[in-house]
Structures are given as structure tokens and as C-alpha cells.
Amino acid sequence: MLFLTGATGLVGGGVLARMLRADPALRVAVLVRDPSRWPAIDRVTPVAGDLCASGLGLTPDVRAALAREVHLVVHAAADVVFSRPLDVARATNVQGTRRVLDLVHEWPRVGQVVYVSTAFVAGRRTGSVAEAEEDGAAGWVNAYEQSKWEAERLVRAATRPWLIVRPSTIVCDDPDGGVVTQYNAVHHAVRLLHRGLVPMIATAPQASVDLVPADYVAGAIAALAVRHDLAGRTLHLCAGAGALAVPDLLENTWEVFARNPAWRRKALPRPVLTDLATYALLERSIDQTGDEMLQRAVRGLSHFAPQLALPKRFETAGADALLGAPAPPVGAYWARVVEHLLAVRWGGGMAA
């Protein structure tokens, strides 16, 4: 039996579907807060629980049953909001992971724990980032990155064989349609660009934007999780060499925006590309003004935008070799993502 956390999310849901499809005999227990809202899926048992509760909030009966049956754990649940305070991010991402690992320690049949981390545990590092890289000395841009790095340390110290996968930022469901089911800071940034509320972008020469579609990540995790020869490996699920340079991303975005004559007529200026020091001055200035709209706009960007000024290239040779192909290059589908966002008006639910 597979024990899966995060099954209600885009990646976890994709992993579940693929693993069920790949193994007709597989049974899965998914950890969910409210089993009554879980759709009935053959061979899948929802178990009530919470990463933030002691023992994941599992009842003794469920815990005992899982101990008897679980042979594989995929821990994909996380608090992925970049703007969380560190203690809040840690509560889910670090303490939650510790609780999963504590249970795994009690479950004798577990042969592997797959931890879904993030490529951005690399934080403020620049340059080439190896898949085996564990160093956190450069620090992090936000509490999400730090908490995931701390969780990785727990996983590496676990008593059972582990595999860590590090997806990049997920930007769409699949590269063909550019469909976006779950919105994040990247989509918010595109919306602010469209509204003409982004005066500048902090970046650096050679900086690029590393993004991946959810189906690539889910497919990769489903394929890698069932292998028994990857214990102790860390793999990047990233665009890597297919990341898109920041000026090119901006250009592609503008090109899609400008197809609308009404938008084009506004003649909104492209943001200026600048350095972190100048961007920090803007942040401070807007903070001083007390202007709520601009504060929201700048703060919405500030939890991840500094990454654009910390040029790094995620190495993907290990994952590419195992999966047989690299992630799709961002430039091949980015325009479709922007088209989709415009078509659905950001799902109508994102505040600008």
C-alpha cells in the first residue's frame, strides 16, 4: 500500500492517478483533512488526518492498519505559500514531515520514503546547483524555501531509505494546453504586469526563470517512486537548461498581452530590469507611502522576486537520465500559459 500526503493538490493528485494507472494492484491510503469531501476512487482509501496534529491525527485503528500494509510513502503535502512567517511554514513543512517520518519509523514494511521538496531549497545560491547539493549557507528568499530545506535534513536523517525530488515552480497543469488549475505567485505577478503595476524587476545578467508543468512533475515522481535503486538520491525536476531568460520571459509575456488592441492602446511600459539594491529602494519607498494597492503589489512579488536576481541553473542530469527526457523548455509553452490566464481572467479569484 502507498501512503500519500498531498493527494488533494495538483502534484499529489497527479502522482496518485499515474501510480494507480501504472499498477492495477496498487492500493493507496491518502491523508486528507475531511474524508467526506474525497471523491470515491477505486483502490483509494481516504484517512482523516492533519500534518499539524500529533501522529498526523490518525486514529489508533488506522495507524495500526497502515503499519501493517504500507510499503511506500510519498510525502507531497506542504504549505506552499511563500509569504508565510517562518514559524507557520515550519509547522506544516518541518514538523509535518517529522510526524510523517516518526510514523514511517513505526511501519516495518516501508521500503522507501519519497519526499517532494523544492528546487528552491537552494535559496540565495547562485550559479550551477547540483542535484546532490545540500548546503544552506547562502540563506533563503522566503520561509517556504527555508522550511523545505530544514525538512530535507530530517528526511536525510531518517531510518528508512529515502528519495528526495525537488520540483521547480509549477506554472501549469500540462505544457500543451497551458491550463492552470492552481494559481501561485507567478500567476499573480503576470496579473500585476498586465495591470501595469510592476515598475521594475530585480534581476541579474544570466538570470532565468525555471518553471515546470505539473504533469511533468507528477509523472516523474510516479516513475521514480517505484524504483528501488534510488535510495539516498536527490533529483531535480526542473527546466534546467530549458529555463527562460528573464528578458525573454518578459518579452514573450508582452507579446501575448499586446495581441489585444485595447491593452496595446494603453501603451503600458515594460518594467525596468534592475538590481536588487535599486529594487529594495522601491520597496522601501512604497512601504513609506502607505499606499495599500502598491504595497500589496510589491509585497506579492517580494517573497519570490529576489530569486530573479539570483541567477542559478539547476542541474538535471540525474533526473533526465532516469526519466529519459528533460522537462519541457519553458519557452515552448509559456505563451500558452499567459494566453490561458488572460482567457480565464486568472480564474476570477486572484486579488490584484
Distance CA 138, CA 170 (A): 23
Q: In the complex with other proteins, which residue's Cβ is closer, 227 or 345?
A: 345
CA distances from 101 to 52, 63, 69, 98, 157 (A): 13, 13, 16, 5, 10
Is position 282 an interface residue for other proteins (rule: CB under 8 A)?
A: yes
Q: Smaller CB distance to other proteins: residue 36 or 288?
A: 288
Tell me whether residue 48 or residue 294 sits nearer to other proteins (CB atom).
Answer: 294
d(CA 176, CA 196): 28
d(CA 37, CA 330): 35
Q: Evaluate whether 181 touches 342 at the Cβ level (below 8 Å).
A: no
CB-CB contact of 79 with 93 (8 Å): yes
Among 281, 321, 332, 344, binds other proteins (CB under 8 A): 281
Residue 196 found at the interface with other proteins (CB under 8 A):
yes
Q: Is 164 helix (H, G, I), strand (E, B) or coil?
A: strand
Q: For residue 179, with 0-12 CB atoms within 10 Å meaning exposed, 13-18 middle and 19 or more buried, which class applies?
A: middle
Instruction: For residue 293, state whether it binds other proteins (rule: CB under 8 A).
Output: yes
Is residue 315 classed as helix, strand or coil in its secondary structure?
Answer: coil
Q: Residue 281 or residue 344: which is nearer to other proteins going by CB?
A: 281
Q: Is 272 one of the binding residues for other proteins (CB under 8 A)?
A: yes
Name the residue nearer to other proteins (CB basis): 180 or 198. 198
Shortest separation between residue 268's beta carbon and other proteins, angstroms:
7
CA distance 240 to 61: 45
Q: Does 289 bind other proteins (CB under 8 A)?
A: yes
Handedness of CA 258, 263, 265, 269 (dihedral sign): negative
Give the x-and-dash track for 51-90 against other proteins (CB under 8 A).
----------------------------------------
DSSP state at residue 331: G
Question: Which residues is 23 bridged to in the sheet?
Answer: none
Q: Does 200 bind other proteins (CB under 8 A)?
A: yes
Retrieve residue 313's grid coordinates.
541553473
92 burial level (CB within 10 Å; 0-12, 13-18, 19+): buried
Encoded one letter per residue, x for contact with other proteins by CB under 8 A and - for no contact, window 251-270 reads --------------xxxxxx
Asked if 21 touches other proteins (CB under 8 A), the answer is: no
Rule CB under 8 A: say whether 290 interacts with other proteins: yes
Residue 91 interacts with other proteins (CB under 8 A)?
A: no
Q: Does 45 bind other proteins (CB under 8 A)?
A: no
Pick 105 or 259: Cβ nearer other proteins: 259
227 or 266: CB nearest other proteins: 266
Of the residues 45, 182, 184, 274, which one makes contact with other proteins according to CB under 8 A: 274
Q: How far apart are CA 33 and CA 30, in angstroms?
A: 10
Among residues 93 and 302, whose Cβ is nearest to other proteins?
A: 302
Q: Which residues bind other proteins (CB under 8 A)?
A: 195-200, 265-272, 274-275, 277-278, 281-282, 284-285, 288-291, 293-294, 297
